[in-house]
């Protein structure tokens, strides 16, 4: 019996619109087991960001049930949701969102600061996770002194430092050249191999077809996406 990190049951999302409501997610069911690596693809406007916002506890579904790491988070209020976000979710975006005046180490410490981890433990945990993404030689650098690929690895370290149950990433290589993008993808592959649970939104079919499992959004509905084997 697997241990689901994510269980979505009949998730729907409405946005208010001129004459009533616009339904942008329809009957979405999804189960993500611990250690899964799931890609999300779909045309622009198909509902990927709306789904990621719900998965990341940035927003609530209008209908349906979301159980995250054993906790029903479907109807939590904003304060409760932000606590769940801080404890259980790591985010990596296309733009790295690092604090320019903070060193690499300080950037990685930020989520621990919010969860009131004592200073010394913050420093030790940040150092360990910075080392795990291969940036020990850059701890005192400022973001402006790093390449884009290095910045994204700092962002990944920051997302991992709280030991989240779920790592969510939206187009993580979107701002990187192909060489740096490849390094970042390889890092996600290593995280998967070490047992992390990952969800990645991507527009890039070459990236998606390398992932173990991909779901596709179409007009707010979700389906499994199957790739044919490449023919020579």
H or E stretch including 151? helix 148-160
Regarding 204 and contact with Mg ion (CB under 5 A), the answer is no
Question: Cα–Cα–Cα angle for 124, 126, 130, nearest 5°?
Answer: 120
Within residues 39-58, the interface with Mg ion by CB under 5 A covers 48-49
Cα distance between residue 93 and residue 222, in whole Å: 22
Q: Which residue has 């995250």 as its token pair?
A: 68
Regarding 132 and contact with ligand ADP (CB under 6 A), the answer is no
Residue 46 binding target from ligand ADP, Mg ion, none, CB below 5 to 8 Å by type: ligand ADP
Residue 24 binding target from ligand ADP, Mg ion, none, CB below 5 to 8 Å by type: ligand ADP
Burial of 204 (0-12, 13-18, 19+ CB in 10 A): middle
Residue 2 binding target from ligand ADP, Mg ion, none, CB below 5 to 8 Å by type: none
Regarding 47 and contact with ligand ADP (CB under 6 A), the answer is yes
Q: How far is the CB of 49 from ligand ADP (least distance, A)?
A: 3
Cα distance between residue 135 and residue 192, in whole Å: 19
Selected binder of ligand ADP within 49, 62, 74, 94 (CB under 6 A)? 49
For residue 199 the two structure tokens come to 């969800």
Neighbours of 230 (CB within 10 A): 6
Q: How far is the CB of 39 from ligand ADP (least distance, A)?
A: 13
Binding site for ligand ADP (CB under 6 A): 15, 22, 24, 42, 44-50, 217
């Amino acid at each position: 019996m697997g241990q689901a990190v994510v269980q979505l049951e009949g998730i729907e999302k409405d946005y208010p619109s001129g004459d009533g409501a616009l339904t942008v997610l329809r009957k979405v069911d999804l189960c993500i087991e611990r250690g899964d690596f799931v890609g999300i693809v779909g045309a622009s406007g198909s509902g990927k960001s709306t789904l990621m916002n719900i998965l990341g506890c940035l927003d609530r579904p209008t209908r349906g049930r979301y159980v995250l790491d054993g906790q029903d988070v479907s109807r939590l209020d904003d304060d409760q949701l932000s606590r769940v976000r801080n404890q259980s979710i790591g985010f990596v975006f296309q733009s790295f969102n690092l604090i320019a005046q903070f060193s690499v180490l300080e950037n990685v410490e930020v989520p621990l600061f919010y969860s009131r981890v004592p200073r010394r433990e913050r420093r030790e945990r940040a150092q360990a996770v910075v080392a795990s993404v291969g940036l020990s030689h850059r701890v005192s650098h400022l973001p402006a002194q790093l390449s884009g690929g290095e910045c994204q690895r700092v962002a990944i370290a920051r997302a991992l430092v709280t030991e989240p149950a779920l790592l969510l990433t939206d187009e993580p290589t979107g701002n990187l050249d192909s060489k740096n993008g490849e390094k970042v993808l390889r890092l996600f592959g290593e995280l998967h191999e070490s047992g992390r649970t990952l969800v990645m939104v991507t527009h890039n079919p070459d990236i998606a077809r390398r992932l173990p499992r991909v779901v596709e959004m179409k007009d707010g509905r979700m389906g499994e996406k199957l790739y044919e084997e490449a023919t020579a």
